[in-house]
Amino acid sequence: MTRTVLIAGYGAFGALHAAAWSRLPGIALRVADAEAAARVRAVADGIAPEAVFADLAAAMAGADIVDIVTPPDAHVDVAEMALARGLPVLIEKPATRTLAEALRLQRLAHGIPVQIGLILRAHPLTLRARALLAEGAIGRLISMSGDFSGWKRTREDSSLVENDGVHFLDLMRHLAGSPIASIDAVGHARLGGALADDIRIDTIHASGVTGELRLGLVRGGTVADSVVPDAQTRKELMLCGDGGLLHLDFNRNRLTKAAVRYAATPGGWHPHPGALETEEMGDTSTVDLLRASFAAFLDTLDHGTPPLSGVAEGAVDLARVTDAIATALARGPRAPVNVLEPEAIP
């Protein structure tokens, strides 16, 4: 059986989607993009000229799956066109810009499979961490600490939270197995611009697990970014339990597991570190992750397995979280507690 996948939007990430789909058997590709230059690129990349369209509705006429890689503002409108035709839909993150759009998408889906492009769920580090958590390798999960920051260009069509933060916010929800119940966030414009370039987000999950996430530019990065050329970032997530921790480094594709035993003392706790183990996951490219997430979606279509990240978690839950972050950031930086006398502060 051959399925025709329509890639709606052929920017840089649309091209990566095409490369990933091409690694799966039984897939025929077509592209729709209103920009002539994008259509020229698609043909240059090997898409048959007769399968490249300027008109989205015409392109959908022979499609079996619609893969939406347009700018975020157009996601829901394109999804509506596809879902009205009964076509399964993949949507790049952020799936929507607002909670109202996310709820609209949920209504439109009405039983038609939809998967949101939160590809870190398919990463070997994530799969391994979930297995270790399930077997109790670090005891009871207590807290999570993420850092997704560094020297990487900011985008005009989405914020630091929407472009970078949603990946780790979703992973924290995924690994904790519990939705985020409350949020606090504070942002600073360290470089003096109009937008926050250094953000800290604190989460409390419904299960009681807590989390913190740092986003931004000025903290720099330690290694080449795994996705964006010429960027230098850190993408690290720490999972802390009452029996140890897991450190996931998504740039180096490395997992470190550390064991610990806490002994109660009159002063609080005495930690007794145990074994320290490191696992190298091997090179994992963006195309590898996209291919794995697309394969999972095909399993959803063929066998009814839940989407890797469905509308409820990948759109509605995340929209609630990003709305709450925006509300918290709008309050501005917290008032500091002075150490020096007021007259000594420059």
pLDDT at 137: 97
Cβ(188)–Cβ(336) under 8 Å? no
183 in a structural domain: yes
Q: With bands split at pLDDT 50, 70 and 90, how would you rate the model's confidence at 56?
A: very high
User: How many Å apart are CA 19 and CA 10, to the nearest integer?
Assistant: 12
7 in a structural domain: yes
Cβ(245)–Cβ(238) under 8 Å? yes
User: How many Å apart are CA 320 and CA 222, to the nearest integer?
Assistant: 32
Closest by CA position to 253, among listed 240, 239, 235, 238? 235
Q: Examine the domain organization and report whether 99 and 165 are in the same domain.
A: no
Q: Examine the domain organization and report whether 163 and 51 are in the same domain.
A: no
Crossing angle of helices 124-134 and 166-176, rounded to 10°: 30
* Average pLDDT of the chain to the nearest whole number: 94
341 in a structural domain: no
Q: Examine the domain organization and report whether 106 and 142 are in the same domain.
A: no
Token pair of 285 as six digits: 């490219």
CATH of the domain at 251: 3.30.360.10
165 CB contacts (<8 Å, ≥6 apart)?
Answer: 148, 199, 201, 213, 215, 322, 325
Q: Examine the domain organization and report whether 140 and 112 are in the same domain.
A: no
| Cβ-based burial of 339 (10 A; exposed 0-12, middle 13-18, buried ≥19) | exposed
Find tokens 């989405």 and name the residue.
158
pLDDT at 345: 62
Q: Which of 94, 120, 146 is the last residue of a domain?
A: 120
Instruction: Give one word for 136, left, alpha or beta, with left for phi > 0 and alpha for psi -120 to 50.
Output: left
Token pair of 265 as six digits: 């003392």
Mean pLDDT over 254-269 rounds to 96
337 in a structural domain: no
Q: Examine the domain organization and report whether 106 and 159 are in the same domain.
A: no
User: 280-300: per-residue pLDDT in tens?
Assistant: 999 899 999 999 999 999 999
CATH of the domain at 53: 3.40.50.720
Least confident span in 73-77, 216-220, 231-235, 244-248 = 216-220
Cβ(117)–Cβ(92) under 8 Å? yes
96 in a structural domain: yes
Mean pLDDT over 64-79 rounds to 96
Q: Which of 283, 301, 322 is the last residue of a domain?
A: 283
Residue 104 pLDDT greater than 70, yes or no: yes
Residue 194 pLDDT greater than 90, yes or no: no
230 in a structural domain: yes
Mean pLDDT over 5-11 rounds to 97
The SS3 assignment for 209 reads coil
pLDDT at 143: 98
Q: Examine the domain organization and report whether 187 and 268 are in the same domain.
A: yes
What is the DSSP annotation of 266-321? TTEEEEEEEEEEEEE-----HHHHHHHHHHHHHHHHHH-PPPSS-HIIIIIIHHHH
Cβ(217)–Cβ(150) under 8 Å? yes
Residue 255 pLDDT greater than 70, yes or no: yes
Q: Which of 120, 146, 167 is the last residue of a domain?
A: 120
pLDDT at 338: 84
User: 122-168: per-residue pLDDT in tens?
Assistant: 999 999 999 999 999 999 999 999 999 989 877 766 688 988 899 99
The SS3 assignment for 203 reads strand
Mean pLDDT over 170-196 rounds to 93
Q: Examine the domain organization and report whether 86 and 135 are in the same domain.
A: no
Find tokens 């939007």 and name the residue.
9
Q: Examine the domain organization and report whether 205 and 255 are in the same domain.
A: yes
Q: Examine the domain organization and report whether 210 and 65 are in the same domain.
A: no
User: How many Å apart are CA 270 and CA 261, to the nearest integer?
Assistant: 8
Structurally, the chain folds into a number of domains equal to 2
Helix ranges (H only) for the chain are 12-21, 36-44, 56-60, 75-84, 99-109, 124-134, 160, 166-176, 286-303, 311, 318-330
227 in a structural domain: yes
Find tokens 């038609």 and name the residue.
112
Q: Examine the domain organization and report whether 84 and 189 are in the same domain.
A: no
- Residue 323 to residues 107, 196, 202, 320, 330, Cα–Cα distance (Å): 19, 16, 14, 5, 11
pTM of the model: 0.93
Q: Examine the domain organization and report whether 98 and 155 are in the same domain.
A: no
User: 15-44: per-residue pLDDT in tens?
Assistant: 999 999 999 999 999 999 999 999 999 999
Q: Examine the domain organization and report whether 176 and 235 are in the same domain.
A: yes
Domain residues for the domain of 193 are 124-283
112 in a structural domain: yes
